[in-house]
Amino acid sequence: MPATEEMICITCPVGCNLAVTHEGATLLGVNGNMCKRGLKFAEAELTDPRRMVATTVRVRGGVHPLVPVYTREPFPKPRIFELLREIRRLEIEAPVTMNQVVLDNALGEEIDIITSRDMPEAGT
């Protein structure tokens, strides 16, 4: 049975209100998008919703006790909390450089988790 669902596209700051008609996971039509990216978003939301995830990882011996990290690409939404549990287990050693991989191929999704900044050793 076709159903129409409302969603807000998050691709850009405009936030178009989309009316998405679908049958199960099959996209039938989209209304309300101002550009093609809205279509892509609606499709992805139905079949494979993804989000960028940013969090922190414990650091030993650094200027701060945590270094911020993020997913290099949008990560499957249903597995975000599983990813966070995995990241919570980690602890890395200072000094850390920006874009250092703290977890590669996270949860087998072929997406690395990388640092957002340098974290020098304490006392630097």
Partner 1 sequence: MAKHLKSQYDVIVIGAGPGGLAAAISAKKNGADDVLMIDRDLELGGILLQCIHNGFGVETFKEDLPGPSYAQRFVNEARNIGIDYLLDTMVLDVTPGRKIFATGSRAGFKELDAKAIVIAMGCRERTRAQILIPGPRPSGVYTAGLAQRWVNVEGYMPGNRFVILGSGDIGMIMARRLTFEGAKVERVLEVLPYLTGLSRNYVQCLQDFGIPLQLRHTVRRIIGRDRVEAVEAVRVDERRRPVPGTEEIIPCDTLLLSVGLIPENELSQKAGVALDPATSGPYVDDGFATNIPGVFAAGNVVHVYDLVDWVTEAGLTAGTRAAMFARGCCNKKPDFVSTAAGQNVRYVVPHKIDPETLTWDTVTLQMRVAQPIEEAVQVRITDGDAVIAKKRNRYARPGEMISLKLRGRDYDPVRKAKELRVSVLPL
Partner 2 sequence: MRSEYDIIIIGAGVVGCMTARWLSRYALRILLVERSSDVCTGATAANSAVVHAGYHAVPGTLKAEMNIKANPMWDLLSEELQFGFARTGAYIVAVGEEERPKLDMFLDRAQKNGTPAQIISAKEMRRREPGLNSEVSGALFVPAGGICDPWGATIAAAENAVMNGVELRLGTEFKDFLWSGEEARRIVGIRTNQGRFTSRWVINAAGLFADEVMHKAGVRPEFRITPRRGEYFVMDRHQIQVQNVLFPVPTAVSKGILVTPTLHGNTLVGPNAENIEDKTDMDVTPEGMNEIWDGGRKLVPGLDRRHVIAVFAGLRPAGNAPCLNPDVNYHHDFVIDIPEEVKGFVNLGGMESPALTAAPAIAERVIGMLRDAGETMAPKTDWNPIRPARPVFRHLTHEKQAVLVAEDPRYGRVVCRCEYVTEGEIVAEIHAPIPATTYDAIKRRTWLGTGRCLGGFDMPRVVDILARELGKDPLEISKKGHGSEFLFRRTKEAG
Site residues for partner 1 per CB under 8 A: 7-15, 34, 51-56, 58, 63-66, 68, 70, 77, 80, 84, 98-99, 116-118
Q: Hey, which residues between 42 and 81 contact partner 2 (CB under 8 A)?
A: 56, 58, 65-66
As measured in angstroms, the least distance from the Cβ of 77 to partner 1 is 7
CA distance linking residue 93 with residue 62, whole number of Å: 7
Residue length of the chain? 124
User: Using an 8 Å Cβ cutoff, are 120 and 63 in contact?
Assistant: yes
Half-sphere exposure of 72 (CA within 13 A, CB side): 15
With H, G, I as helix, E, B as strand and everything else as coil, classify residue 32. Answer: coil
As measured in angstroms, the least distance from the Cβ of 76 to partner 2 is 22
Interacting residues toward partner 2 by CB under 8 A: 56, 58, 65-66, 88
